[in-house]
Amino acid sequence: MKKASRIYLVLLFGFLYAPLLVMILISFNGGESTAHMTGFSLRWYREMFKDAATLQAFKNTLTLSISAASASTVLGTLAAVGIDRMKSARLRSIILSVTNIPMMNPDIVTGISLMLLFVFAASLIGYSTVLSFWTLLIAHITFCLPYVILSVLPKLRQMDRSLPEAAMDLGCTPMQSFFRIELPFIGPGILTGFIMAFTLSFDDFVISNFTSGAGFETLTIHIFAMIKKSVKPDIYALSTLIFAAVLLLLLLYNLLGGREEDMAL
Amino acid sequence: MKRGILQRAAAAPHVVWSALFIIAPLIFVLYYTFTGQDGSFSLDNITRLGKGNYLMIFVNSLCMALIATVICFVIAYPAAYIFSRMKKKSQKLCILLIMLPLWMNFLITTYSWMTILEDTGVINTLLGLVGLGPVHMINTPGAVITGMVFCFLPYMILPIYSVMAGIDPKLLEAAADLGCSPVQIFMKVVWPLSVGGVISGVTMVFVPSVSTFYISQKLGGGTFQLIGDTIESYFTGTAVNYHFGAALSLILMVLILISMAVMNRFGDDEQGGALI
Amino acid sequence: MEKNTVVRLSRICKSFGSENVLNNIDLEIKDDQFVTLLGPSGCGKTTTLRIIAGFETPDSGEVYFDGKVINDIPPYRRSVNTVFQKYALFPNLNVYENVAFGLRVKKASDREISEKVREMLRLVNLQGFEKRDVSTLSGGQQQRVAIARALIMQPRVLLLDEPLGALDLKLRKDMQIELKNIRKKTGISFVYVTHDQEEALSMSDTVVVMNDGVIQQIGAPIDIYNEPANAYVADFIGESNILDGVMERDLQVRFAGRSFECVDRGFMTDEPVDVVVRPEDVDVVAPEKGMLTGTVTEVTFMGVHYEVIVEIRGFKWMIQTTDYVSPGQFIGIFIEPDAIHVMKKSEYSDMFGDYSSYSNELDQLSENTEEEGRE
Q: Give me the residue spans of the domains in chain C.
A: 5-226, 240-373
Using 50, 70 and 90 to split pLDDT, how confident is the model at B260?
A: confident
**CA pair distance A165, B3, nearest whole angstrom:** 10
**What is the average pLDDT value for chain C, to the nearest integer?**
88
Residue of C306, C61, C129, B7 whose CA lies nearest to A84: B7
Interface touch B103/A17, C-beta < 8 Å: no
Chain C contact for A190 (CB, 8 A cutoff): no
Average pLDDT (B10-32) is 91
Burial of A4 (0-12, 13-18, 19+ CB in 10 A): exposed
Average pLDDT (A146-166) is 91
DSSP 8-state class, residue A156: H
Using 50, 70 and 90 to split pLDDT, how confident is the model at C357?
A: low
Average pLDDT (C313-331) is 90
Using 50, 70 and 90 to split pLDDT, how confident is the model at B76?
A: very high
pLDDT at res. A265:
28
Greater confidence (C6 vs B122) lies with: C6
Interface touch C57/B2, C-beta < 8 Å: yes
pLDDT at res. C69:
92
Least CA distance to B31: which residue of chain A? A116
Q: Choose the closest CB to A168 out of C76, C92, C149.
A: C76
Average pLDDT (C246-253) is 91
Using 50, 70 and 90 to split pLDDT, how confident is the model at A257?
A: low
Alpha-carbon torsion angle C282, C284, C286, C288, nearest 10? 20
Question: Tell me: the pLDDT tens digits for C82-138?
Answer: 999 888 999 989 999 999 999 999 899 999 999 999 999 999 889 899 999 998 998
Chain B contact for C16 (CB, 8 A cutoff): no
Q: Which residues in A lie closer than 8 A to residue B228 (C-beta atoms)?
A: 106, 108
pLDDT at res. B120:
77
Q: Which residues in A lie closer than 8 A to residue B23 (C-beta atoms)?
A: 98
Q: Is the ipTM value over 0.90, yes or no?
A: no
* Share of residues in chain C with pLDDT > 90 (%): 54
pLDDT at res. B36:
81
Predicted TM-score (pTM) of the model is: 0.82
Matching fold, domains C5-226 and C240-373: no
**Cβ–Cβ under 8 Å, residues A220 and B107:** yes
Residue A261, pLDDT above cutoff 50 = no
**Cβ–Cβ under 8 Å, residues C319 and C333:** yes
Q: Which residues in A lie closer than 8 A to residue C102 (C-beta atoms)?
A: 170-171
Packing angle between helix B54-84 and helix B88-99, nearest 10 degrees? 160
The full set of domains in chain B, from first to last, is 53-275 (1.10.3720.10)
Phi, psi of C352 (to 5 degrees): -115, 115
Residue B223, pLDDT above cutoff 80 = no
Using 50, 70 and 90 to split pLDDT, how confident is the model at B273?
A: very low
How is domain C240-373 classified at the architecture level of CATH?
Beta Barrel (2.40)
- Class assignment of domain A59-231? mainly alpha
pLDDT at res. B269:
53
Q: Range with the lowest mean pLDDT among B3-17, B158-172, C33-47, C170-184?
A: B3-17
**Any idea where the domains of chain A sit in the sequence?**
59-231
Could you list the beta-strand ranges (E) of chain C. Answer: 5-16, 19-30, 34-38, 60-65, 68-69, 80-83, 157-161, 189-194, 206-211, 214-219, 241-249, 252-255, 258-261, 271-277, 282-285, 292-301, 306-312, 315-321, 330-335, 340-344
Q: Choose the closest CB to A170 out of C54, C81, C135.
A: C81
Chain C contact for B2 (CB, 8 A cutoff): yes
Q: How many CB atoms lie within 10 A of CB C14?
A: 22
**What is the average pLDDT value for chain A, to the nearest integer?**
86
Q: Which residues in C lie closer than 8 A to residue B1 (C-beta atoms)?
A: 55-56
Contacts of B173 by beta carbon, 8 Å cutoff, 6+ apart: none
**CA pair distance A35, A38, nearest whole angstrom:** 10
**CA pair distance C225, C233, nearest whole angstrom:** 8
Q: Which residues in A lie closer than 8 A to residue C132 (C-beta atoms)?
A: none
**Cβ–Cβ under 8 Å, residues C297 and C309:** yes
Helices (H), chain B: 5-8, 12-18, 24-33, 44-50, 54-84, 88-99, 106-117, 122-129, 141-165, 169-177, 182-185, 191-211, 214-219, 227-236, 242-275
Residue C256, pLDDT above cutoff 60 = yes
Burial of B163 (0-12, 13-18, 19+ CB in 10 A): buried
Window A:45-84, CB contacts with B under 8 Å: 75-76, 78-79, 81-83
Chain A contact for C133 (CB, 8 A cutoff): yes
Residue C133 Cα, gap to closest chain A Cα (Å): 8
Interface touch A166/C84, C-beta < 8 Å: yes
Residue A251, pLDDT above cutoff 90 = no
Interface touch C90/A181, C-beta < 8 Å: yes
Residue C362, pLDDT above cutoff 60 = no
Interface touch A178/B153, C-beta < 8 Å: no
For domain C5-226, give the fold.
Rossmann fold (3.40.50)
Which residues does residue C161 pair with via DSSP β-bridges, in sequence order? Answer: C193
Residue C364, pLDDT above cutoff 60 = no
Question: Tell me: the pLDDT tens digits for A179-223?
Answer: 999 999 999 899 989 988 998 899 899 999 889 877 888 988 888
Among B2, B14, B83, the strongest candidate for a mutation testing the A interface, having the largest count of A CBs within 10 A, is B14
**CA pair distance C172, C165, nearest whole angstrom:** 8
**Cβ–Cβ under 8 Å, residues C203 and C192:** yes
Interface touch C75/A162, C-beta < 8 Å: no
**CA pair distance B156, B149, nearest whole angstrom:** 10
Which residues does residue C319 pair with via DSSP β-bridges, in sequence order? Answer: C308
Greater confidence (B44 vs A200) lies with: A200
Chain A contact for B9 (CB, 8 A cutoff): yes
